[in-house]
Amino acid sequence: MEKFIFGLAVGMTAGAVLVANNCKLRNLVKKNQEDLMEKAECYIDEKLEQLEKSRAKKAQTEQKSQQG
């Protein structure tokens, strides 16, 4: 585990140095981060919609069972 954390830290440092020295690479990283955040937001929204639909269906079945 320590090797992984050390490797991650070294990789982040090397990546930061590369990005700091290269404007094009920095812009590319920013764009990729924005794209990733948009995809993550869409994924979260989809999961929330599915959760709401399942809760609504569950509430409907409970109401029908109470009426019947």
For the chain, give every domain's residue range.
Answer: 23-68
Give CA–CA dist 67/50, Å, rounded.
26
- Dihedral (Cα; 55, 58, 64, 68), 10-degree rounding: -150
pLDDT of residue 45: 92
Q: Taking 90 as the threshold, does the pLDDT of residue 9 lie above it?
A: no
Reported as a single tens digit per residue, the pLDDT across 26-36 is: 788 788 888 88
For the chain, give the mean pLDDT: 83
Block residue for tokens 């869409």: 42
User: Does 63 score more than 90 pLDDT?
Assistant: no
> What is the DSSP-derived secondary structure letter of residue 1?
-
